[in-house]
Chain A
């Protein structure tokens, strides 16, 4: 494997053993960007000079014989809705096209304490609204396995960069599947931790009660390591949980014997692609073969998850995005006659179609006379969905199902039909509504040779069991060693 194809834990060992330098590694990744970024378009901002300087500093440290931390000197990408001090944070929106945050998100502060090499900011659907990264105001990212296909979304840039070798690791954010679905489409590992496990301070809000930052990596081992770094209570985020963070790498054991794995029948019904169903069923058989006990379960309110999600998330988004008014930061439309016109023109001109659609749905759901029928009802159904999971977890340790009902589709194929796009989220949104952790790991390919992901869902704050099942499954086959064929390799 080439350097840029290696997972972080292998590269870390190579750095420690002085087989490579961080500069060599960083230059390899930057060269890979030169080679394939024109097709993949994963990045909105590339901070080449900063990356080189960071790499050199790490090499000096190693040369002095100092010990280095896990991510030290290893290049990664940050989704462009995570605030990075001094570097643009655009959310792939024209309204923030020149916005530079004056502060670092808490995850950035935690990461920077590790001295990683930050390559740049990754493309995404505008304000994380979408599942294909086609809603980026700036560019469409290609799936490294077939650049005519979408990488998934909204963290499509992060997943594509890791799959293309233009980043070793990445951070994404997941509101309704935005880490797991692109991980599934791009054949990499992506985890949405329990709501509150990772601080949201500095993550530009889409839907506050659903958003969560998580890692996108080449394998489960890297995922556990990065989760260790970014987790934990943050006084700046009062919704972050005040629980001790375990060492997630201790969960990397190859053993699922006796674990009860629930298979929700509602996740294998209408709209599921036959290749996805076949591949996921094979993975379940594999888990059984490895000693897990397979239990069929029911999550009866699954059908309502999408409607619930598409009321709650737009309602929260409508208020969260109200701040983009052109007054004190972001773009402002020219030539407005008065205040109302200034705000209206600014938002009309600089916000994208999907963002406007969700703002309108959200304001409608919150408006007088409709609140009870829509928003309040959605909150009640949300509770029922959570109760479904609570009941299921009395019986089983983890729940396993597809991450997405289909593999990656062609760019442009679904963009004109928002409703069909929304249905793509059926397997992922219930976890966000219930606040539960979930991971997507590669489990095979479609007949068109596009990756398929297996989703493993855990109890709240039980990322360890998910990692254990994911790791055991991963080690039983070799999908995590496959790399997208792209460019010259």
Chain B
């Protein structure tokens, strides 16, 4: 039987506020254990939470950017469970009246097909602390310590409908959400710091059926690669179980990236009853239409709109425009290159090509690129003017990567100016014809491809500086 996967994601994203959600402690990552704590986030007896207004603002902006409706009456609830990283033994979260509901994002698959993934809800909540075990897990440790620095860092949880049917779609969805959150500047989305992580729900059903199968859940997946790999593994595992006539058990499984497998962690029978109740220490959140409109107006141009604009304004292909707008930083870099007067298609090619290649090789963000947008734009200008060829430009770019000099200076210092002077080229051509009589004969006897070897020789002798078009023209002319 052939099966169809049904996948839903719960994405947790830390918001980049300066202070925690219910107290004034800093949210800075990586500080010494238990230095960003106060009575409130430590859950000491007698303390009360007060809502950080920025958290509400960021959550509403995320909701608007993800096409959600904003609930004008919203409230916090207590999600009760015992774990030592949770000092109050409840997590302040939102249950039945989340701040945002009914949104969606569109993803574009590698085959060019666009698919809409619906978002059920977005709610605000506090992050938990971190356990530091003497062993590997709490079970095999003699002692465990708790670092409360992360306790109370604001999170939003974005819950999707089970609208995805392949690991690729799940990855694309998460990438799109990440991109949007970065565009609106509410989250750093640094996955290696746990800023962005997802719980994956997956079940199988016979292809074409509309009945949902039993699902399993994998928690805290924090890389795009792991999203795809964990889902691929889990889909195969479920398929095998079903093929063998077995049943899927509703359970939470952990993804072991080293072994590339998922392992059973907790079955439904042992699932928590969270005993949700309204948080009596926080007043309900009332948001007005005016406030919502003000937040909407403050949003920057979002990826989809920006992509459409690049296609229309600069004639970029959908694919190129999609890549350029996949992150706000890259899109802004592109805009800055264009501002220097550079050709848009060349700019896109250079950004997606050599620039991205160099950044990836050195694991750099585009914002940290040694070649800034202004210099890249100037270099593209030199290509357009014919001062340098595209081939020379690669050398210039490598030089720019290493030195802060302007492309003009590099071209001048290294003598990389393109030879467009026909006389100078003719001299080289003549020499090449004389030295390569065999190729000339081949060409004349009808093997037109032989001209390529001659062009190559001319370019070599000019150290790549001859304008290839001019070389072609002159050679064709001389060979008759």
Interface residues of A (CB under 8 A from B): 81-83, 89, 91, 96, 99, 101-103, 105, 200-205, 207-209, 235-239, 315-316, 318-319, 322-323, 325, 327-329, 338-339, 343, 363, 366-368, 371, 375
Contacts and interface: CB of A to CB of B under 8 A. Distances in A.
Given A99-B45, A339-B84, A367-B275, A325 B89 contact: yes
A237 B138 contact: no
B82 A238 contact: no
Contacts of A238: 48-51, 281-283
Contact of A201 (B47, B80, B144, B146): B47
User: Chain B at the A interface: mostly helix, strand, loop or mixed?
Assistant: loop
A447 B148 CA distance: 58
Interface string B258-289: 00000000000000010111001111000000
A-B CB proximity, top 4 nearest: A322-B89, A208-B280, A366-B275, A209-B280
B178 interface: no
Given A102-B44, A201-B47, 10 more contacts: A81-B46, A101-B44, A202-B47, A238-B281, A238-B283, A323-B88, A327-B146, A339-B144, A363-B275, A368-B275
B297 interface: no
A297 B144 CA distance: 61
A325 B45 contact: no
Nearest to A205: B46
Nearest to A240: B48
Given A205-B46, A323-B45, A366-B275, A102 B39 contact: yes
B277 A319 contact: yes
27 contacts: A81-B46, A82-B46, A83-B46, A89-B45, A89-B46, A91-B45, A101-B44, A101-B46, A200-B48, A205-B281, A237-B48, A238-B51, A238-B281, A238-B282, A238-B283, A239-B280, A315-B277, A318-B80, A319-B78, A319-B277, A322-B89, A323-B89, A327-B84, A327-B146, A339-B138, A339-B144, A371-B275
A322 B80 CA distance: 8
A270 B46 CA distance: 37
A377 to B, nearest CB: 14
Contacts of A207: 280
Interface residues of B, number: 32
Contacts of A208: 280-281
Contacts of A203: 46
B46 A105 contact: yes
B42 interface: yes
A338 to B, nearest CB: 7
A316 B277 contact: yes
Contacts of B224: none
Contacts of A83: 45-46
Nearest to B22: A238
A292 to B, nearest CB: 36
A351 to B, nearest CB: 13
B50 A96 contact: no
A327 B83 CA distance: 10
B82 A343 contact: yes
A366 B46 contact: no
B84 A325 contact: yes
Contacts of A339: 84, 138, 144
B402 interface: no
Nearest to B131: A339
Given A201-B46, A205-B46, A327-B146, A366 B283 contact: no
B423 interface: no
A481 B87 CA distance: 48
A329 B84 CA distance: 12
Contacts of A205: 45-46, 281
Contacts of B47: 201-202
A328 B42 contact: yes
Contacts of A202: 46-47
Contacts of B350: none
B72 to A, nearest CB: 18
A237 B275 CA distance: 24
A103 B39 contact: yes
Nearest to B281: A208
B3 interface: no
Given A239-B281, A328-B87, A322 B82 contact: yes
Given A239-B281, A368-B273, A96 B45 contact: yes
B43 interface: yes
Contacts of A235: 50
Contacts of A239: 48, 280-283
Given A208-B280, A366-B275, A368-B273, A319 B90 contact: yes
Contact of A375 (B42, B87, B146, B277): B277
Contacts of B44: 101-103, 329
B412 interface: no
B45 A204 contact: yes
Interface in B73-93: 78, 80, 82, 84, 87-90
Contacts of A99: 45
Nearest to B40: A236
Given A89-B45, A367-B275, A327 B281 contact: no
A142 to B, nearest CB: 27
B385 interface: no
Contacts of B281: 205, 208, 238-239
Contacts of A327: 84, 87, 146
Contacts of A81: 46
B478 interface: no
Contacts of B280: 207-209, 239, 316
Interface string B288-318: 0000000000000000000000000000000
Interface in B11-64: 39, 42-51
Contacts of B90: 319, 322
Contacts of B42: 328
B249 to A, nearest CB: 20
Contacts of A322: 80, 82, 88-90
